[in-house]
Structure 1
Amino acid sequence: MRDTLLLIGRILLIAIFILSGLGKVFDLAGTAAYIGSKGLPLPTVLAPLVAIAELGLGLAVAIGFQTRLAAYALAAFSLLTIPFFHDFWNMAGEARMLNQVQALKNIAMVGAFLILAAVGPGRYSVDRA
């Protein structure tokens, strides 16, 4: 049961990264524009890198390949996006509320990734094959 729950948990946890990564791949120009609107440098370079990271690391966690390393990387990624993309402390009204929820969602995902890094992917993974 433990291994089945770890597999389901991994898939549910990374679904947002795979879907977001695919969205970025299919709209690199829009992604670059959004990154640029946040004042980050080199948005046309960062956009494909972020898309590849979300997809690649997401798939790694899904199949259980280098799971601990991918979980640490996605934990760091999730945490680092908060001050750049979910800076609710600089907002007011509905935008503040929505971005605070997004920041808290990211913090919760960091916790889940740290748990995954601690316990490993379980039996149903490339790491354990």
Structure 2
Amino acid sequence: MINLYKIDPYLFFIGRLLLGLYFLLPGISKIPSYSQTLLLMISKGVPLDQIALLTTIFLQIFFGTLIILNRHLRISCILLFLLTILINYYIHDFWNLTGDPSQGHETQNFVKNLGIAAGLLVLATKDSKNLQSKSS
């Protein structure tokens, strides 16, 4: 019988890589587009917009990288979960766009981010030690 648990470390790495990149790349891209991103945040009524943007950039780059490297996984996932929920509330506020053509797009982004948030919570419960004991 084939032991499918033997591929768990590979699945764990690929999942961490993809989820980490989901935060790392947008964090990096916010640096050259700082002004445009700040204007978006101001238009959405994000409080402390400049501090919020700098914090977002730091969290996405730093903790996205830590997820990829499998370091401090639990705290990285929890902080990025909280960030994702805040982004959903302030940026993807589809409920404020009644009749606006972008409402469907923002609804889709909101739901997608809920899936990302769920994945972060699941990943926060995992570590490489759990996977190593399963695969042996």
Picking from 46, 49, 57, the partner of 1:51 is: 57
Match of 1:99 in 2: 106
Write the letter of the residue equivalent to 2:56.
Answer: V
Picking from 31, 35, 42, the partner of 2:48 is: 42
- Return closer, same or farther for 1:111/1:41 CA change in 2, 3 Å cut-off: closer
Shift of 1:72: 0.8
- Does residue 66 (structure 1) correspond to residue 48 (structure 2)? The answer is no
TM-score (norm 1): 0.87
TM-score (norm 2): 0.83
Structure 1 or 2, whichever has the larger Rg, is 2
SS, match of residue 63 in structure 2? helix
Shift of 1:121: 4.7
Shift of 1:123: 8.1
Write the letter of the residue equivalent to 1:38.
Answer: K
- What do residues 80-127 of structure 1 show as CA deviations (whole Å, max 9, x unaligned)? 211100111111343111011100011001111111011225689xxx
Residue 56 of structure 2 contacts residue 83 of structure 2 at CA under 8 Å; is this kept in 1? no
| Counterparts of 1:13 and 1:7, CA distance in 2 | 10
**Matched pairs, number:** 124
- Return closer, same or farther for 1:68/1:37 CA change in 2, 3 Å cut-off: same
| Counterparts of 1:113 and 1:20, CA distance in 2 | 17
Show structure 1 runs of 5+ residues with no match.
125-129
Match of 1:112 in 2: 119
**Mean alpha-carbon deviation: is it higher for 31-40 or for 94-103?**
31-40
After superposition, the CA RMSD in angstroms is: 1.8
Give runs of ≥4 in structure 1 deviating > 4 Å.
121-124
SS, match of residue 94 in structure 1? coil
Show structure 2 runs of 5+ residues with no match.
1-6, 132-136
Shift of 1:41: 2.9
| Counterparts of 2:77 and 2:60, CA distance in 1 | 11
Shift of 1:37: 1.2
Write the letter of the residue equivalent to 1:75.
Answer: F
Shift of 1:13: 1.4
